[in-house]
Amino acid sequence: MNLKGRSFLTLKDYSASEIEYLVDLAAELKEKKKQGITGESLKGKNIALIFEKPSTRTRCAFTIGCVDEGGHPEYLSRDDIQLGHKESVEDTARVLGRMFDGIEFRGFSQDTVEKLAKYSGVPVWNGLTDTYHPTQILADFLTLKEQFGKLKGLKLVYVGDGRNNMANSLMIGAAKLGIHFTILAPKSLWPEQSLVETCTLYTQDSGSLIEISDAYDALEGADAVYTDVWCSMGEEDLAAERIKILKPYQVNEALLAKTEKDNTIFLHCLPAVKGNEVTEEIFERFADVVFDQAENRMHTIKAVMVATLGNQ
């Protein structure tokens, strides 16, 4: 499959077969790395890593993924360049596009990453915005495939803040790949209706079911229960309010029991605030899966770079 020159901004832009290709390529690259085999598909490539928001997994994954394939990553924090401050995003994009072969952006506005892709002329990869987090979803899907041997037909329930970038991106990816997806959240934190309608259109091809609910019976039959922090970066002032309304949606023993399955797994994109969205006990029980999920950020991000920029 030829994805050369493509940006990776949201899973809306990728077909089911293209998403599956990236997950499978990541699995292949992961197996090679375990055998000590790295590649040269990014040899001679210079990659800009722009971080408005700090990161552990995203920064490390892009850096190691790039180096493993022979490329050179250059970290650029919001203090290192003039992105949107003394220089417009459009002009910064045109400068970086003449110096770098690919650009990763992790920050606040989806509009910024869209402009970088439009004006730079090189592949741009979304490492996270307030709206979408597509590289995380690839890691989640690789983890699910490792656990269950398939994706289509699984039931995934996301619990907590149902209108954040993780809920949005999981819904898009699940709807395209035939994963039955439920958001369990208080009504005040349900996703935008327009996105639900878009994802419902995707299900016409995939056969997946999308459900938005505030009732615990939505957990029945879940193969995986997923949660995220209750306050995303930049929303710290809302912490007290979020804790109050989301406490009933904490992933704990009682909530997990409502799946009525003994092989349900727990997923978290990290970092976790244990005692808020998940109890210490549940987190530690599924720690091996959660940290597989974290490691898989590296393999899936490497797959995106190799597929869209690499010389294969």
pLDDT in tens, the chain (312 residues): 999 999 999 999 999 999 999 999 999 999 999 999 999 999 999 999 999 999 999 999 999 999 999 999 999 998 888 787 789 999 999 999 999 999 999 999 999 999 999 999 999 999 999 999 999 999 999 999 999 999 999 999 999 999 999 999 999 999 999 999 999 999 999 999 999 999 999 999 999 999 999 999 999 999 999 999 998 767 777 788 999 999 999 999 999 999 999 999 999 999 999 999 999 999 999 999 999 999 999 999 999 999 999 996
Integer Cα distance of 306 and 127 in angstroms: 16
Residue 136: active-site member: yes
State the DSSP string of 271-282. Answer: ---BTTTB-HHH
Nearest partner of 143 among 275, 300, 273, judged by Cα: 300
Residue 269: active-site member: yes
Cβ-in-10-Å burial (0-12, 13-18, 19+) of 168 comes to buried
Integer Cα distance of 68 and 258 in angstroms: 43
Residue in 6, 133, 242, 268 annotated catalytic: 133
Predicted local distance difference test score (pLDDT) of residue 312: 64
Predicted local distance difference test score (pLDDT) of residue 86: 83
Residue 110 belongs to what H/E stretch? helix 110-120
Binding site members: 55-58, 82, 106, 133-136, 165, 228, 232-233, 269-270, 297
**Domains of the chain, start order:** 11-133+297-309 (3.40.50.1370), 136-293 (3.40.50.1370)
Residue 299: active-site member: no
Binding site members for L-ornithine: 165, 228, 232-233
| pTM, entire model | 0.97
Q: Are 162 and 189 in contact (CB under 8 A)?
A: yes
The two structure tokens encoding residue 61: 């994954």
Residue in 228, 231, 250, 293 annotated catalytic: 228
Residue in 66, 199, 231, 269 annotated catalytic: 269
Residue in 106, 180, 268, 299 annotated catalytic: 106
Residue 242: active-site member: no
Residue 133: active-site member: yes
Predicted local distance difference test score (pLDDT) of residue 79: 85
Binding site members for carbamoyl phosphate: 55-58, 82, 106, 133-136, 269-270, 297
Integer Cα distance of 269 and 146 in angstroms: 16
Residue in 6, 68, 136, 299 annotated catalytic: 136
Residue 228: active-site member: yes
